[in-house]
Amino acid sequence: MEFRGFPYTPYSIQIDFMKALYHSLNQGGVSILESPTGTGKTLSIICSALQWVYDRRQQDKSKVQSPHHSTDDAHIGSDDEPDWLRNFVPNKDNLTQEKKINKKFGFGGCDRRRNRKESCKDLFSRDLEEEDCNKRGENKSSRKKNDGVELSDDEFLLDEYESEEEGALGGGKSKRKAGGVSISSSSDEEGEKDGSDGEEEEEEKAFKIYFCSRTHSQLSQFIKELRKTLFSNEINVVCLGSRKNFCINEEVLKLGSSVRVNERCLELQKNKKKNEVSKIKNFSAEGRIRRTKASSGCPMLRKHKLQKEFRTETSQHGALDIEDLVRIGRSIGTCPYYGSRSMVPAADLVVLPYQSLLSKSSRESLGLNLKNSIIVIDEAHNLADSLISMYDAKITSSQLESVHSHIEKYFTRFRNILGPGNRRYIQTLMVLTRAFLQTLDNKKDLSNVNNCQAEEIAADTKAVCDTSIAINDFLFSLNIDNINLVKLLQYIKESNLVHKVSGYGEKVASLQEGLALDHNGGCGEEGSTLSSFRALVDMLTSLTNNDGDGRMIISKMRSTCSGLLGGFLKYVMLTGEKIFSEIVDEAHAVILAGGTLQPIEETRERLFPWLPPNQLHFFSCSHIVPPESILPIAVSRGPSGQSFDFSYNSRSSLVMVEELGLLLCNLVAFVPEGIVVFFSSFEYEGQVYDAWKKSGILERIMRKKRIFREPRSNSDVELILKEYKETIDGLSRGTKDGVRHNGAVLLAVVGGKISEGINFSDGMGRCIVMVGLPYPSPSDVELMERVKYIESLGEPNCGKRPEISVGEHYYNGDAQTAFSILRSCKRRGKEYYENLCMKAVNQSIGRAIRHINDYAAILLVDMRYASDSSKRSFSHPTNKLPLWIKDRLVSATNNYGEVHRLLHHFFKYNKKRECQ
């Protein structure tokens, strides 16, 4: 098996990885492929997966031409291959030549694409919709006006809504047809079709590849790698992203947050619809068409021809990332968000963020068809947690107050003219929101406003006012268990209540205050009124889940010296298997790829417990670098012999913090270039920094290397990293304080921006210091709910009532209860908690080695990392390290002198090797 699309001569581990992936695609089902960062994983994925699709399509084509044609792997790399694949040498000249040849093979090349009949019906062809809107408009105008309604308020009056069965709420079917745009969930789905109506279904490509990753920069990186291969010009590839990433309407963009951009865009689509309705009405009444107001719709979507031009233009350029698509959209003057969406059906490869693929509503709204597709999920560590968190729902007390007051005002205004159906549902909504607000009210705490000290402590520990409760218990405790939430949600969706109520509220507010509302309709802290309604709908939807699928977190309002701290209700989804089974059932193959994916057993139990272990394929390849380029050491003592124990109870010891400082003073003296020190939290980093400053240690370190600290704000990270790099590169040596530095130290935080997505190749990270074991806070109620749930997995009554001896079902998040939960866990729950810690460690330390000539030392500073490797238990933290680190770990040293000698020798050796 050869992978001639690979642009260089692959290393043996890259060939192994590509073969494993190819084999996985032959088998179908679920595979987990682990390859350390810096080993060319992305390029290997591209070349193997696209090769497989190419081969498979060729085989299918041959089958059609000759029913007796063999389809086994023997054909791969045979004489049947087109010349371009066999003779491929990646240089510009033959790329151009090969492009001409391969037009008749495999994927749709760009020339072919150019000639392809443009079959996408434009985005604006709304004949059917207009007809429908027209009917709705006529219905509305024929509705008898009620005496009490001023003409100007008529637009906010709800259409009649009747249930077949009177009495029990929502007991019957709605007689009213769904109409208008409604809010249905926090995903993008609302009104998605507004932008894409009228698109004609293109034939789906067989074995379409969906590649998803976490961040947009990772997706851009993927496109960069794709461009290095011959496939770049041979396939139809499209990159999807959020409106916020794609939007080119400056007025909308300046709203800032994704939620606001989404809402405004959808609102514009809605306005466009309205204007189209009025346009048709004008035509009927006066026999001529009036011009639609210039303000209708988004100007970037007005000319459908431009969308076609966008598709044609982008198809000329091979693989494009989001920035490229935005550039083209801007130059043409048409929306790249809707432009790229319209290219999905014809694509061979769709590159998109996690959320868009893993969330069902996003998939539906984007029209993604996963049937027989190949799904590659990159950076799949913590996939189970990421996946289920997409189904969480949260509503704050201020959002509840906003929704409640809007509904109340609306009801007061229209109660006498609303039909019984509308009245009953609206009253039910008021009952619900009032009940939610009451449960967040914390009278005891609010009456205690003078006890600042106690309150600040409460605010600091955050979780002490949080409780968790099962869905049914929650509904019973609020006395709302008799409400049919499914019918209520149906009503909200069909009646267009959200827009009517919020629209009326905004109008009243603007009239009363004489204020011109901004486009977002009066934004509070958590966004607009629409966002608040959206949050309520999400919460109600969550409450329709099975009792055991998740838990409710109640975080009550509380007072602090600085003011009232708002509470919130949060639904935390606990099970991911149902969500993931929908994807696995549809797709031909699902590949989870990543640098560190162990332990796979936990992933299997949480995401696909129905799969027998032998049907889950796992492959792990070693690292590309030679053993002498990595030196991981468990450091249990500092230079003066003080032992390191950074567990929660002892980490504040000043003696130990100082010992850590002495260790760093020693390191900066001989470790070249950059040292990255990871702490478990911003708070602890701050504590250590202040102690070092006080004791003069900071000054001693700064005589050798400049110190940088990870900022809390993500937007400042880039600047800090730039300065850190410049200092290491020698660009700013001696310029800051007259001291000639021999590099820099970066104090970073596990789980922060730096530990997740930043690479510390070469001088950026010659030594990574991990301080302690960064266990997550046991006071986190959500986390402990997950621990309990995971502990119950595999038990006969899984998810119902975890067999844990905590006693009561109300858990209030205090550390002692949390520790007793952890102690009660026999296996899975405890292991999950420990895995979270080691996954975070692996993420942080795995970013130091990025290519074959790179080298770095990794210091795991805590006596809990040290062990006698022959007696090490299965659950020992170092057993959860990636294989390529674990195999080279110096797990025990007699004293710090030995650590120093090993490091000295390591850097001397590698420096020499670098110079050769």
Rounded least distance, CB 218 to ligand SF4, Å? 22
Nearer to ligand SF4, 107 or 337 (CB): 337
Nearer to ligand SF4, 243 or 706 (CB): 243
Parallel, antiparallel, or unpaired: how do β-strands 630-635 and 237-239 relate?
unpaired
Q: 814: which residues sit within 8 A by CB, 6+ positions away?
A: 463, 464, 779
- Beta bridge partners of residue 770, listed in sequence order: 678, 860
* Beta-sheet strand order (sheet of 706-709): 630-635, 856-861, 767-771, 673-679, 743-749, 706-709
Q: 35: which residues sit within 8 A by CB, 6+ positions away?
A: 13, 17, 41, 44, 593, 594, 595, 620, 621
With contact defined as beta carbons under 8 Å apart, do 625 and 11 qualify?
Answer: no
Nearer to ligand SF4, 265 or 465 (CB): 265
With contact defined as beta carbons under 8 Å apart, do 447 and 763 qualify?
Answer: no
Rounded least distance, CB 250 to ligand SF4, Å? 9
Nearer to ligand SF4, 272 or 753 (CB): 272
Mark the segment that binds ligand SF4 (CB under 6 A) among 333-341, 455-463, 611-619, 838-846.
333-341
Q: Binding ligand SF4 by CB under 6 A: which of 88, 156, 231, 337? A: 337
CA terminus-to-terminus distance, the chain: 36
Nearer to ligand SF4, 248 or 885 (CB): 248
Mark the segment that binds ligand SF4 (CB under 6 A) among 130-138, 169-177, 242-250, 565-573.
242-250
Rounded least distance, CB 519 to ligand SF4, Å? 11
Nearer to ligand SF4, 107 or 338 (CB): 338
298 binds ligand SF4 (CB under 6 A): yes
- Beta bridge partners of residue 34, listed in sequence order: 594, 620
Nearer to ligand SF4, 272 or 381 (CB): 272
Give yes or no for a cis peptide into 599 (omega within 30° of 0). Answer: yes
Number of Cβ atoms within 10 Å of the Cβ of 322: 23
With contact defined as beta carbons under 8 Å apart, do 822 and 802 qualify?
Answer: no
Q: Binding ligand SF4 by CB under 6 A: which of 208, 243, 637, 725? A: 243
Mark the segment that binds ligand SF4 (CB under 6 A) among 11-19, 111-119, 245-253, 673-681.
245-253
DSSP 609-644: TTS-GGGEEEEE---SS-GGGEEEEEE-B-TTSPBP
Nearer to ligand SF4, 120 or 265 (CB): 265
Q: What is the largest CA-CA distance in the chain?
A: 96
Rounded least distance, CB 120 to ligand SF4, Å? 17
Rounded least distance, CB 330 to ligand SF4, Å? 10
* Number of chain residues interacting with ligand SF4 (CB under 6 A): 15
300 binds ligand SF4 (CB under 6 A): yes
Rounded least distance, CB 125 to ligand SF4, Å? 16
Please give the residues from 513 up to 552 whose contact with ligand SF4 meets the rule CB under 6 A.
none
Nearer to ligand SF4, 298 or 783 (CB): 298
Question: For the chain, give me the number of helices (H) and strands (E)?
Answer: 37, 19
Q: Binding ligand SF4 by CB under 6 A: which of 252, 383, 657, 688? A: 252
Look up residue 241 and give its DSSP letter. Answer: -
Binding to ligand SF4 by CB under 6 A, coded x per residue (else -) over 127-166, reads ----------------------------------------
Using alpha carbons only, give the angle 688, 689, 691 rounded to the nearest 5 degrees.
65
Mark the segment that binds ligand SF4 (CB under 6 A) among 126-134, 296-304, 360-368, 525-533.
296-304
Mark the segment that binds ligand SF4 (CB under 6 A) among 274-282, 294-302, 702-710, 894-902.
294-302
Q: Binding ligand SF4 by CB under 6 A: which of 133, 181, 248, 374? A: 248
CA-nearest of 570, 700, 651 to 186 is 570
301 binds ligand SF4 (CB under 6 A): yes
Q: 486: which residues sit within 8 A by CB, 6+ positions away?
A: 170, 544
Mark the segment that binds ligand SF4 (CB under 6 A) among 240-248, 446-454, 632-640, 703-711.
240-248
Q: Is 204 exposed, middle or buried (0-12, 13-18, 19+ CB in 10 A)?
A: middle
* 496 alpha-carbon distance from chain centroid: 30
Mark the segment that binds ligand SF4 (CB under 6 A) among 30-38, 186-194, 247-255, 795-803.
247-255
Please give the residues from 615 up to 634 whose contact with ligand SF4 meets the rule CB under 6 A.
none
Could you tell me the sign of the dihedral formed by the alpha carbons of 367, 370, 376, 380, in that order?
A: positive
With contact defined as beta carbons under 8 Å apart, do 475 and 543 qualify?
Answer: yes
3-state secondary structure of 904: helix
Nearer to ligand SF4, 301 or 749 (CB): 301
Rounded least distance, CB 289 to ligand SF4, Å? 24
Rounded least distance, CB 520 to ligand SF4, Å? 13
Rounded least distance, CB 781 to ligand SF4, Å? 37
265 binds ligand SF4 (CB under 6 A): yes
- Beta bridge partners of residue 693, listed in sequence order: none
Please give the residues from 170 up to 229 whose contact with ligand SF4 meets the rule CB under 6 A.
195
Nearer to ligand SF4, 79 or 250 (CB): 250
Rounded least distance, CB 293 to ligand SF4, Å? 16
Number of Cβ atoms within 10 Å of the Cβ of 289: 10
Cα separation of 33 and 380, whole Å? 10
* Per-residue tokens: 725: 């790099």
CA distances from residue 775 to 380, 737, 820, 839 in whole angstroms, order as listed: 20, 37, 16, 10
With contact defined as beta carbons under 8 Å apart, do 749 and 682 qualify?
Answer: yes
Mark the segment that binds ligand SF4 (CB under 6 A) among 75-83, 295-303, 640-648, 721-729.
295-303
Nearer to ligand SF4, 249 or 373 (CB): 249
Nearer to ligand SF4, 356 or 559 (CB): 356
Nearer to ligand SF4, 41 or 260 (CB): 260
Q: 513: which residues sit within 8 A by CB, 6+ positions away?
A: none
Q: Binding ligand SF4 by CB under 6 A: which of 245, 249, 842, 844? A: 249
Q: What is the CA radius of gyration of the chain?
A: 30
Rounded least distance, CB 195 to ligand SF4, Å? 6
Q: Binding ligand SF4 by CB under 6 A: which of 110, 181, 247, 616? A: 247
Nearer to ligand SF4, 247 or 590 (CB): 247
Nearer to ligand SF4, 268 or 346 (CB): 268
Rounded least distance, CB 179 to ligand SF4, Å? 22
335 binds ligand SF4 (CB under 6 A): yes
Rounded least distance, CB 355 to ligand SF4, Å? 17
CA distances from residue 662 to 319, 349, 499, 700, 880 in whole angstroms, order as listed: 51, 52, 62, 9, 29
CA-nearest of 660, 667, 668 to 741 is 668
With contact defined as beta carbons under 8 Å apart, do 199 and 346 qualify?
Answer: no
Nearer to ligand SF4, 24 or 269 (CB): 269
268 binds ligand SF4 (CB under 6 A): yes
Rounded least distance, CB 334 to ligand SF4, Å? 8
Identity of residue 669: A
Cα separation of 424 and 562, whole Å? 41
Cα separation of 859 and 854, whole Å? 17
Nearer to ligand SF4, 37 or 262 (CB): 262
List contacts with ligand SF4 (CB under 6 A): 195, 243, 246-249, 252, 265, 268, 298, 300-301, 335, 337-338
